[in-house]
A and B are shown apart, each in its own frame.
Chain A
Amino acid sequence: MTGTFSSLNTALSALRYQRVAMDVASNNIANLSSEGYVRRRAEAQALGAPEQIAMWSRYDGVGDGVSSASVTRLADPLLDARARREHGTQSYLDTRVAVLSRLESGVGEPGASGVSAALADFRNSWQDLQTHPEQGASRSQVLATGRALAQAINGQASNVDSELAEQRSHLLDLVSQINSAASSLAAVNRSIADANGGGLDDSDLRDQRDVLAMRLSELTGSEAKARPDGGVDVLVGGVPLVVGQTAGTFTITGGVAPDGTSDGAPLSFAVVGSAGSTAVSPAAVGGEAGATSELITTTLPGYRAGLDSVASLLADAVNALHTSGYDLNGNPGQAFFSYDPLNASGSLAVALTDPDDVAASSVPGGGLDTGVAEALGNAQVADEAYRRLVSGLGTEVASSRRLGDNQRLLTTQVDNAREQLVGVNIDEETTNLMAAQRAYEAASRVMSTMDSVLDTLINRTGLVR
């Protein structure tokens, strides 16, 4: 239908739409670097003939202008899911590499001040004692190098212990981060459902939703499932943590006490929801929390156990030889090292205090025989075990680092693919802005042209000068 004033309406609809287009472009530019922002596009739809033609109603117009049908958020849920998965794996590997590297730098091998050097010094001091059994200084030296060796092993043990304690308190911190992200996500889910019901634009809420889902994936390696109402459900290790507008509580049910100490039990997790508590297998948790729990459960205790076996191997072998000998006064040798079998590397210490108690002699009678000193000077009991331990740790760090580097390539690739779709390009937006500006100017011109046409029609028609 073409009426006298319909062109004015067409121009008005164009002005309206171009205003929306300019708004969207400027919003895109404004959010160029906002985290999680997905670019929008103003969708235009030409207005024309009604979709259903009635019998007596004919449409003889050429179009009634434009309507700004909607603002589209250019996201791809599949790519988002893929990015979440890769980011979860990435943060798992990154956490692991960071902690292992820290542990490794505390080992100090190969070098002049590590346990390996202390073992060699200890051996050499026995040989010096063999050379000068008559000098009290060589006996004191044996005690001193023995103490240095014990301290070097204690030092590594306490390194591992403090790393374990740090990881335990880090895990507590992670759990509170997980729960705050989960409850925020549940709140956003609610807002999205409300906005949908009210017919409002929920793009910003969806941005927030994706940021939170990504954060949860990085923290726990969780999986997010889209809901029909626009929200997402989050599953950690297959157990629902966020369902629609309600969030469960991710809790540590054993292994780490609330004050960050170990409670002796194996590490276990559960999600506590309104329906009760559901256990989550620690092996099924990924991301930062998964890496931390694996470090607490397997990796760090494994290195600690290796260190313990080195310490007990050393102490047992030295003690066996030492107790077979006789000290300076001719008395049978006592144990040289003492340790607690439950915590060998942490409690290893030299049991002797008096240099005269060092049993260098293999025969009784207080002579200067040095049979035991000779045997101890040649005994390389713990060296091989310690070398294996260190090179095992090195291999683990190197392979984790390699995996992390490979994963980074993959993560970057997925991020780029996602960025291609959702990222804001200034050139593009500037062009859109200019196009909208020109279109707005043209629509204004239409308006004034129509005005002038109507002016002619209304004011001049029939007037004769």
Chain B
Amino acid sequence: MSTLRVTQGMLVGRSLDSLQASYERLAAAQEQVSSGRRINRPSDSPTDTAVAMRVRASLKSVEQYTRNAQDGIGRLGTVDQALSDVTDELSRAREIAIAGANTAASSPESRAALATELEQIRGGLLDAANTTYLSRPVFGGVTAGTAAFDSAGNFVGVTGQITRQVGDTVKVRVDADGQAVFGDGATSIFADLDNLATALRAGNAAGIQTGLAAITARMSTVSTAHADVGGAYKRIEQAQSTIESQQLDLSSALSEVENVDIARASVNLNLQQMAYQAALASTARVMQPSLLDFLH
């Protein structure tokens, strides 16, 4: 559009408009630099806002997975230690059973001594079976009580699995099934040891052999459970390293979406500052002269 006439009002209006626009751009550049963020409100980039919100939610989930994994590791460590103790106790029980099986070579007194030792081992096993983590029995399933087995060897826990979520789709069991490891009531290892002690005292060779077989079978059950726990431990460790790298990826993705490139933003800020100063200077120069300055 060709300009036919230019008036002072027009110059003033135009100058004010462009000063305002320039100052707005300066403010936007300044906001980006001072907040360090490219998206300060949804309208700055609606699509990236949705992405940023999704990434933020994932980041929070991943932080939670880290906490879950740490708890899982602690709990599995306790189970692992308890099962090691159980294996040790069972090995000693087996040695005693083998020693007692030699009925001909042993006197009733020595067999009674073996039986007493066996009862102590039973006590140790019961303690191991009632091992707690954060005051919850690790073999008691989802029980709210403090013990998994009573002194008679009956399972008093509540059957159920304790799992930890350590990834979007990764769920790991972090306890061991007490009933599977120790048995329950009359079929439990505790009953087996009781029977073995009775057989030792009575010199019942068949009873001792049955007890020995029961202990051997129990050892293999425990080692299977132990292997499961070891496997779960490994899975959580793997999940932890996945989580760590995921956390890095998500953080960098978030900063890619939300944060400004500081170098670029600073350059832009300088540019806008210069533009604003130039606008001010040119306004000052254009506003001054009129014909009146040159008439006398």
Using CB atoms and an 8 Å cutoff, list the residues of chain A in contact with chain B: 32-33, 101, 104-105, 107, 109-110, 112, 116-117, 119-121, 123-124, 127-128, 130-134, 328, 361, 363, 365-370, 374, 377-378, 380, 383, 386-388, 390-395, 397-398, 401, 412-413, 415-417, 419-421, 423-428, 430-431, 434
Bound form: Cα–Cα A394–B134 in Å: 47
With A123-B61, A367-B160 as known contacts, state yes or no: A430 contacts B42, CB within 8 Å.
no
Contacts of B5 in A (CB 8 A): 420-421, 423, 425, 428
With A423-B5, A427-B291 as known contacts, state yes or no: A391 contacts B41, CB within 8 Å.
no
Is the beta-carbon distance between A134 and B144 smaller than 8 angstroms? yes
Identify the 8 closest CB pairs spanning chains A and B, nearest first.
A394-B42, A423-B7, A394-B46, A397-B43, A120-B60, A110-B52, A367-B158, A369-B142
Bound form: Cα–Cα A365–B157 in Å: 12
Bound form: Cα–Cα A9–B164 in Å: 112
Is the beta-carbon distance between A430 and B295 smaller than 8 angstroms? yes
Partner of A32 from B8, B17, B47 at Cβ < 8 Å: B8
Closest to B3 in A: A420
B14 within 8 A of A: yes
Would you give the 0/1 interface string for B49-83, flagging 1 where the beta carbon is closer than 8 Å to chain A?
11011101100110110011001000000000000
With A128-B67, A419-B9, A421-B5 as known contacts, state yes or no: A368 contacts B144, CB within 8 Å.
yes
Q: How large is the interface on B (under 10, 10 to 19, 20 to 34, 35 or more residues)?
A: 35 or more
Bound form: Cα–Cα A90–B56 in Å: 38
A-B contacts, 16 of them at CB < 8 A, read A32-B8, A121-B60, A124-B61, A130-B165, A133-B142, A367-B158, A367-B160, A377-B165, A380-B57, A390-B50, A391-B49, A391-B50, A420-B10, A425-B5, A426-B292, A431-B291
B4 within 8 A of A: yes
B288 within 8 A of A: no
Bound form: Cα–Cα A378–B67 in Å: 15
Known interface pairs A110-B49, A127-B64, A397-B42; 20 further A-B residue pairs with C-beta atoms within 8 A, sorted by A's residue number: A32-B8, A101-B41, A107-B42, A112-B56, A123-B64, A130-B165, A131-B71, A132-B134, A367-B144, A368-B142, A368-B143, A393-B42, A394-B45, A415-B13, A420-B4, A420-B10, A423-B8, A423-B9, A426-B291, A430-B290
Tell me the minimal C-beta distance from B71 to chain A in angstroms: 5
Closest to B12 in A: A33
Tell me the minimal C-beta distance from B249 to chain A in angstroms: 18
Q: Which of B45, B52, B57, B134 gathers most chain A CB within 10 Å? A: B57
Contacts of B142 in A (CB 8 A): 133, 361, 363, 367-370
Q: Which of A116, A328, A361 gathers most chain B CB within 10 Å? A: A116
Contacts of A374 in B (CB 8 A): 163, 165
Is the beta-carbon distance between B165 and A424 smaller than 8 angstroms? no
B1 within 8 A of A: yes
Contacts of B56 in A (CB 8 A): 110, 112, 116-117, 120
Bound form: Cα–Cα A374–B65 in Å: 12
Partner of B290 from A123, A386, A416, A427 at Cβ < 8 Å: A427
Contacts of A393 in B (CB 8 A): 42-43
Is the beta-carbon distance between B4 and A398 smaller than 8 angstroms? no
B206 within 8 A of A: no
Is the beta-carbon distance between A109 and B6 smaller than 8 angstroms? no
Contacts of A427 in B (CB 8 A): 290-291
With A134-B135, A390-B50 as known contacts, state yes or no: A426 contacts B144, CB within 8 Å.
no
With A390-B42, A419-B13 as known contacts, state yes or no: A119 contacts B136, CB within 8 Å.
no
Partner of B292 from A366, A367, A394, A430 at Cβ < 8 Å: A430
Bound form: Cα–Cα A117–B52 in Å: 11
Bound form: Cα–Cα A130–B13 in Å: 65
Bound form: Cα–Cα A130–B42 in Å: 34
Is the beta-carbon distance between A424 and B9 smaller than 8 angstroms? yes
B260 within 8 A of A: no
With A121-B60, A421-B5, A424-B8 as known contacts, state yes or no: A110 contacts B53, CB within 8 Å.
yes
B258 within 8 A of A: yes
Contacts of B135 in A (CB 8 A): 134
Q: Which of A123, A377, A387 gathers most chain B CB within 10 Å? A: A387
Bound form: Cα–Cα A209–B233 in Å: 85
Is the beta-carbon distance between B41 and A104 smaller than 8 angstroms? yes
Contacts of B52 in A (CB 8 A): 110
Contacts of B13 in A (CB 8 A): 415-416, 419
Q: Which of B6, B143, B144 gathers most chain A CB within 10 Å? A: B144
Is the beta-carbon distance between A426 and B8 smaller than 8 angstroms? yes
Contacts of B279 in A (CB 8 A): none
Is the beta-carbon distance between A367 and B42 smaller than 8 angstroms? no
Bound form: Cα–Cα A30–B86 in Å: 105
Bound form: Cα–Cα A130–B56 in Å: 22
Bound form: Cα–Cα A421–B10 in Å: 11
B39 within 8 A of A: yes
Bound form: Cα–Cα A464–B264 in Å: 100
Tell me the minimal C-beta distance from B275 to chain A in angstroms: 17
Bound form: Cα–Cα A106–B84 in Å: 58
Tell me the minimal C-beta distance from B45 to chain A in angstroms: 8
Bound form: Cα–Cα A133–B75 in Å: 14
Is the beta-carbon distance between B136 and A398 smaller than 8 angstroms? no
